[in-house]
Amino acid sequence: MTKISDLESRRAIEQSRIRALMTAQRAGERAKLKIGPEHVAWVKEELCIGCDQCTIVCDDDAIEVYPVKLRSPILDVDINKKARILREPCTGCGLCVLACPTDAIVMIDR
Protein backbone atom coordinates (compact mmCIF):
# COMPACT_ATOMS: atom_id res chain seq x y z
CA MET A 1 0.00 0.00 0.00
CA THR A 2 1.18 3.50 -0.81
CA LYS A 3 2.28 5.44 2.25
CA ILE A 4 1.78 9.17 2.88
CA SER A 5 5.55 9.60 2.89
CA ASP A 6 5.70 8.03 -0.60
CA LEU A 7 3.07 10.50 -1.85
CA GLU A 8 4.94 13.43 -0.28
CA SER A 9 8.13 12.34 -1.88
CA ARG A 10 6.44 11.94 -5.29
CA ARG A 11 4.89 15.39 -4.93
CA ALA A 12 8.32 16.91 -4.18
CA ILE A 13 9.81 15.25 -7.25
CA GLU A 14 6.90 16.47 -9.39
CA GLN A 15 7.24 19.97 -7.93
CA SER A 16 10.86 20.12 -8.87
CA ARG A 17 10.20 18.72 -12.37
CA ILE A 18 7.48 21.32 -13.06
CA ARG A 19 9.70 24.15 -11.80
CA ALA A 20 12.58 23.08 -14.03
CA LEU A 21 10.27 22.81 -17.04
CA MET A 22 8.70 26.19 -16.44
CA THR A 23 12.05 27.83 -15.96
CA ALA A 24 13.31 26.40 -19.22
CA GLN A 25 10.21 26.84 -21.37
CA ARG A 26 8.59 29.98 -20.07
CA ALA A 27 11.57 32.18 -19.32
CA GLY A 28 10.39 34.78 -21.83
CA GLU A 29 6.93 34.91 -20.32
CA ARG A 30 8.36 35.13 -16.81
CA ALA A 31 10.50 38.06 -17.82
CA LYS A 32 7.33 40.04 -18.62
CA LEU A 33 5.68 39.32 -15.26
CA LYS A 34 5.60 41.76 -12.39
CA ILE A 35 7.50 39.70 -9.85
CA GLY A 36 9.11 40.51 -6.54
CA PRO A 37 8.05 41.38 -3.00
CA GLU A 38 6.20 44.51 -4.11
CA HIS A 39 3.78 42.34 -6.09
CA VAL A 40 1.32 39.65 -5.12
CA ALA A 41 -0.58 37.00 -7.05
CA TRP A 42 -4.35 37.27 -7.57
CA VAL A 43 -6.79 34.60 -8.77
CA LYS A 44 -9.59 35.52 -11.17
CA GLU A 45 -12.20 33.27 -9.65
CA GLU A 46 -14.28 32.95 -12.81
CA LEU A 47 -11.33 31.39 -14.69
CA CYS A 48 -10.17 29.02 -11.95
CA ILE A 49 -11.07 25.36 -12.52
CA GLY A 50 -9.64 24.13 -9.21
CA CYS A 51 -6.97 21.96 -10.84
CA ASP A 52 -4.44 22.44 -8.01
CA GLN A 53 -1.45 23.10 -10.29
CA CYS A 54 -0.70 26.39 -8.57
CA THR A 55 -0.56 24.83 -5.11
CA ILE A 56 1.94 22.27 -6.38
CA VAL A 57 4.42 24.90 -7.53
CA CYS A 58 3.97 27.35 -4.65
CA ASP A 59 6.53 26.43 -2.02
CA ASP A 60 5.52 29.31 0.25
CA ASP A 61 2.12 27.81 1.16
CA ALA A 62 0.52 30.98 -0.15
CA ILE A 63 -2.37 29.37 -2.01
CA GLU A 64 -5.36 27.67 -0.53
CA VAL A 65 -8.09 25.82 -2.32
CA TYR A 66 -11.63 26.18 -1.03
CA PRO A 67 -14.81 24.31 -1.93
CA VAL A 68 -17.51 25.95 -4.03
CA LYS A 69 -20.64 24.69 -5.72
CA LEU A 70 -20.19 24.40 -9.47
CA ARG A 71 -22.24 27.05 -11.22
CA SER A 72 -23.51 25.65 -14.48
CA PRO A 73 -26.87 25.65 -16.21
CA ILE A 74 -26.36 22.03 -17.32
CA LEU A 75 -24.52 20.42 -14.41
CA ASP A 76 -25.45 20.23 -10.76
CA VAL A 77 -22.26 19.39 -8.89
CA ASP A 78 -21.97 20.05 -5.18
CA ILE A 79 -18.21 19.89 -4.99
CA ASN A 80 -15.87 22.02 -7.02
CA LYS A 81 -12.79 23.98 -5.99
CA LYS A 82 -11.31 27.43 -6.43
CA ALA A 83 -7.90 28.72 -5.45
CA ARG A 84 -7.18 31.89 -3.52
CA ILE A 85 -3.91 33.61 -2.65
CA LEU A 86 -2.86 34.32 0.92
CA ARG A 87 -1.28 37.77 0.63
CA GLU A 88 1.09 37.58 3.60
CA PRO A 89 3.05 34.43 2.70
CA CYS A 90 3.06 35.25 -1.05
CA THR A 91 6.56 36.31 -2.04
CA GLY A 92 5.54 37.47 -5.51
CA CYS A 93 7.66 34.88 -7.31
CA GLY A 94 5.12 34.45 -10.15
CA LEU A 95 5.52 30.67 -10.49
CA CYS A 96 1.81 30.06 -10.01
CA VAL A 97 1.03 32.36 -12.96
CA LEU A 98 3.17 30.18 -15.23
CA ALA A 99 1.67 26.96 -13.85
CA CYS A 100 -2.00 27.90 -14.25
CA PRO A 101 -3.50 26.25 -17.36
CA THR A 102 -6.39 28.73 -17.62
CA ASP A 103 -4.45 31.98 -17.06
CA ALA A 104 -6.54 32.55 -13.95
CA ILE A 105 -3.67 34.08 -11.96
CA VAL A 106 -2.22 37.53 -12.48
CA MET A 107 0.37 39.52 -10.59
CA ILE A 108 -0.83 42.79 -9.08
CA ASP A 109 0.79 45.55 -7.05
CA ARG A 110 0.80 44.73 -3.35
- Contacts to ligand SF4 by CB under 6 A: 41, 43, 48-54, 57-58, 60, 62-63, 83, 85, 90-96, 99-100, 102, 104-105
C-alpha–C-alpha distance, residues 63 and 13, integer Å: 19
The amino acid occupying position 94 is G
Q: Name which of 6 and 59 has its Cβ closer to ligand SF4.
A: 59
Q: Name which of 8 and 59 has its Cβ closer to ligand SF4.
A: 59
The three-state (H, E, C) secondary structure of 6-36, written as one string = HHHHHHHHHHHHHHHHHHHHCHHHHHHCCCC
Q: Name which of 7 and 108 has its Cβ closer to ligand SF4.
A: 108
Instruction: Report the length, in residues, of the chain.
Output: 110
The CB-of-3 to ligand SF4 minimum distance in angstroms stands at 26
